[in-house]
Amino acid sequence: MRHSAENNQNSEYKIIVVDDEIGIIDSLSIFLKRSGYNFTGVTNPLEAIERVRNEHFDLMLLDFIMTPIHGDQVIEEIRKFNKELYILLLTGHKDLAPPLETIRKYDIQGYCEKSDKFDQLLLLVESGIKSIAQMKLIKKINTELKDTYEQLEKSYMESIEVLRQTVDAKDPYTRGHSDRVSDYSVLIGKKLGLDERDIRTLKIGGLFHDIGKIGVPDNILLKPGKLTDDEYSEIKNHPSIGAHILSTATIFADLIPIVKHHHERYDGNGYPSKLKGNEIPYLARIAAVADTYDAMTSKRPYRDALSLDVVKSEIKRCSGTQFDPEIAKVFLDLLENNYDEIEKIQNSYY
C-alpha cells in the first residue's frame, strides 16, 4: 500500500529524459515508470529545448555528450526562458563530467555517471523531487500570502474610501483640495527620489491630511467670510483631531505624521506642536508645500486664486521660514520646468 501511495504521489511529477542513445531512453523509461513518474523521452536535444519551452516538466535528466549539441548548450538555451527546471546531468564516464564552473553557471542541480545500476540515479531523482515539492509548497504559500495581502489591501482602500466620503460630505471643498494636495505631494516626492512606500504614504496622506475637519463645527468650516481669532483657533485643532481619528486603526499609522504636522512651520511657529526644522516629519514637510500651493491657487469665497508669479514669490519668500528650503526649491523647479504636470493636476479636479 505504501509503495502504491508513493507511486501515486510520484505521478504528479513530470520527468523528461534527453539522451541521443535510444537504449538509455528505453532503460530509464522502464526504471522511472516503475517508480511511478510521468516519463517523457527525447533523443534530439534541439527537440528537447522546444518541448521544455512549450510543456511543463519538473525535472530533466540530460546526457552531457550528445549531437548535434552538448548538454551544457541545451541548458544554456533552457535557462534563457526557464529558471526553475531541476536538471541532472548524465555522463558516460567520470572523466567526462562537466566542470564545476559549468555546473554553477547554468544552475545545474547535480550529475551522475551512467551505470547499468540505477540506484544512485534513483537517489538523486528522489532528492530532486523532494526539492521540487518544497519549491511548490513555498510557491503555494507565497501565492496564499499574496492573496491575503491583496485582500488586506482591498480592505485598506475600502476603509480609505469610506473616510473620503465622510470628509466630502462634511466639506464639499475638501475633495478637490485633498486630491490635488495628494497629487502635488506625489509629484514632489518623485522629484526628491523617494521610494515607493513613501510615495504611497504621501498619496494617501495627502488625501486625508484634512480629515480632522470632520470635528470642526459647520458654521466655522463653511463660513464664507474671514474667521475670528476664536474660530481660527477651532480650525487649528483639525490636525490633532485627524491624528486622533486615525490612531484608532494601526493600518493608518504611517499617515498620522502627515495629518498631524502638515501645518507645522520650518521656523517652529506652526501648529499643533510647534516643531522646528528636521523635527517636522519629512513627508509632512512635503505635504505642507503642496497644501499651501493649492490653497493659494484655489478660488475662495473671500478672494480669487493668486497668480502663478505671486505664488512663486510667496514660496521663495517663505523658504526657510514656513517651508523646508530643500523642498521649496524642488517645488519651485517643478513650477519652472514641469508646470504642465502641475497644471494637469489643477485642471483634472475642476
β-pairing, 14-18 vs 86-91, is unpaired
What proportions of the chain, in percent to the nearest 5, are helix, strand and coil?
Answer: 65, 10, 30
Cα 262 vs. chain centroid, distance in angstroms?
26
Residue recorded with cell 474671514: 226
From the candidates 213, 223, 274, 299, give the one annotated as an active-site residue.
Answer: 213
- 3-state secondary structure (DSSP) of residue 125: helix
Residue 122 Rama label (left phi>0; alpha psi -120 to 50; beta): alpha
Question: Strand pairing partners for 88?
Answer: 61, 110
Phi first, then psi, for residue 15 (nearest 5°) are: -115, 130
136 an active-site residue?
no
Q: CA dist 56 to 12, 15, 182, 251, Å?
A: 12, 9, 46, 41
Instruction: Tell me the residue ranges of DSSP E strands in the chain.
Output: 14-18, 38-42, 59-63, 86-91, 110-113
| Element containing residue 313 per DSSP (H, E) | helix 308-318
Distance CA 69, CA 173 (A): 71
Phi first, then psi, for residue 91 (nearest 5°) are: -120, 145
CB environment 205-242: b (16+ within 10 A), e (fewer) = bbbbbbbbbbbbeeebbeeeeeeeeebeebbebbbbbb
Distance CA 212, CA 241 (A): 5
Distance CA 132, CA 206 (A): 46
| Element containing residue 340 per DSSP (H, E) | helix 339-348
Mutual angle of helices 339-348 and 172-191, in 10-degree steps: 160
Active site residues: 213
